[in-house]
Amino acid sequence: MDGLFEQRRYLIPFRSSLLPQIFTDTLVIGGGVAGLRAAVAASEHGEVIVLSKGDLKNTNTSWAQGGIASVMDPADTLEGHVQDTLVAGAGGCDPAAVRLVVDHGPRLMRELFAWGMKADTDAAGQLDLGREGGHNHSRIVHANGDETGREVQRVLLAKARATSGVRIFENCFALDLITPTAEPGSPVMGAITHHPKHGLQMIWAKATILASGGAGVLFRETTNPPLATADGLAMAYRAGATLADMAYMQFHPTTLYLAGASRALITEAVRGAGAHLLDNSGHRFMQDVHPLAELAPRDVVSQAIVRRIAHQGGGSVYLDCRHIKDFATHFPGIARLLKRFDLDAAKDLIPIHPAAHYMVGGVKTDLHGRTDVPGLYAAGEAACTGLHGANRLASNSLLEGLVFGEIAGRQAAEMRGDAAVAKAMNGNGAKPAGWTGGARPAPVGIVSDIRPSDRGELDLTDVRSSVRSAMWKNVGLERTGQKLASQIEMLDFWARYTLDKIFDEPLGWETQNMLLVGALVARAALWREESRGCHLRLDHPETREAFRVHDCWRRGQMGAKAAPIGELAAEAIK
């Protein structure tokens, strides 16, 4: 990618020597499942600071209605979970990543239970395991029906707060990762942050773990909380890290679709409990599409819904839950949501439509959570570990956050010693600039000078709304080369009037991040001339073996570079 997106290394001008300085061993950016689990693991080898962009009740994790997929039933097998993940990933998964996550799942679930997680059980007191799309066995752990994410957030937050050496900064916006030079590959030494009370601060760290969540707010219709504006992906790209698989945005099949209502998620567990999808005529059309019917992988169900709506000339598709006994008991959160719109699942059909849900791509890592920038690790939705391939299997996301959060937190210990730091950063035994005894980074004289814009003012709210609407229309569930090329032109146009500005509050920084990551998503989707998983090109409907690769994007690199499946890690990582 070239142009204005390549020119901006930092979002704001600053002189590091003039800002307040904070020091820690490990900085974790993100307060969801991956970030909190990473913090607990990293606390075993040093001090930790966790940054949460907002309050900790509004992470993607806390919004997650679905459960955690893990092999907890003696009748189930690890191999079965592996195979279901590979099938859903449509040839895009790295098998080693899949096996790693699946193998660690049962242990980390038992750990959550030991820390106080309250999971749903049956009358005999055994785990009441559910089944969701793409799974051939009941292996989904839920909490209070549709509030699993909230329970996971509660347990991990309590654990982190009770862990010595962990500090949590809420409502703290990470603007950019600190690097001693602007060159891609320059080591990450922490982040520059903004707090509404304390203003700009430099947080210096031996290791930085990016666990900032996803990018759903790029799209007009999304299940994500308002804070999911792709900030972590953008700051990693500006710092020189490689992003991969950016075309793969997963669309959730079932969100409430009513005028005036936000696109609230209706968890896949509802279909796992037996709900049907009906068209305007009352026909259960998914039986004609896939052997698993409503429990087919999410890309299959979402695309079938859109085709059905087009086939019937508009109108709606409905979720039929009327035959599910005790719906409100099993799904209390959804029942409360429906009641606000005078809907009762026991009597009414629920109008639904797909919406942007999960960023499958992200910052490329190896199996240790390392990126190709020294000192920077990534975990959770912000990372591309190779687990999900071209389409995430239902309820694998919280599991991935647990597994790779722990791995990244432990792996960050390699940045503790002077020798390890020097080797990782320079490969020649020489200490990097600004590194002092004990591997503690010192506030080196980093300067970001940005010339004020001579262009006119702009309405950020209008730009943001336009970007989201255009992304939904042109880079949504159904894509064509013509629409994608048009979207790239639009984003480049908005960039000329937005990326040259200096903002002093999150709305501006978020908008700039959205433009950058939106441009990467559109370019990746244009480059990928095939249909695979959640990426549907109407002008290239076939799946092509030549594109069974990871598309990789790095600042200063023209266009995409391909990495073979199974070899996601760059040479610098190996």
Catalogue the active-site residues.
Answer: 298
Which of these, 458, 271, 261, 228, lies nearest to 359 by C-alpha position? 228
Written as six digits, the tokens of 331 are 């799904």
* Residue 553 and residue 243 in contact, taking contact as beta carbons nearer than 8 Å: yes
Which of these, 310, 194, 294, lies nearest to 253 by C-alpha position? 294
Helix or strand holding residue 508 (H, E)? helix 506-527
For residue 390, list its beta bridge partners: none
Please compute Rg for the chain using Cα positions: 23
CA 446, CA 10: separation in Å to the nearest integer?
A: 11
Cβ neighbours of residue 288 under 8 Å, at least 6 residues apart? none
Written as six digits, the tokens of 510 are 């978020």
Largest distance between two CA atoms of the chain: 72
CA 304, CA 310: separation in Å to the nearest integer?
A: 10
Other CB atoms within 10 A of residue 565 CB: 17
Cα–Cα distances (Å) from 472 to 216, 341, 507, 522, in that order, read 10, 25, 20, 11
CA 191, CA 375: separation in Å to the nearest integer?
A: 12
Cα–Cα distances (Å) from 261 to 63, 222, 255, 419, 468, in that order, read 17, 12, 10, 56, 17
Which residue is associated with the tokens 């309590």? 158
Burial of 79 per CB tally in 10 Å (0-12, 13-18, 19+): exposed
Cβ neighbours of residue 375 under 8 Å, at least 6 residues apart? 187, 188, 189, 205, 206, 207, 208, 415, 421, 424, 425
Helix or strand holding residue 507 (H, E)? helix 506-527
CA 81, CA 137: separation in Å to the nearest integer?
A: 8
CA 358, CA 61: separation in Å to the nearest integer?
A: 12
* Residue 135 and residue 16 in contact, taking contact as beta carbons nearer than 8 Å: no
Q: Buried b / exposed e across 434-453, counting CB within 10 Å, b at 16+?
A: bbeeebbbebeebebebeee
Written as six digits, the tokens of 321 are 């839950």
For residue 355, list its beta bridge partners: 252
CA 500, CA 8: separation in Å to the nearest integer?
A: 8
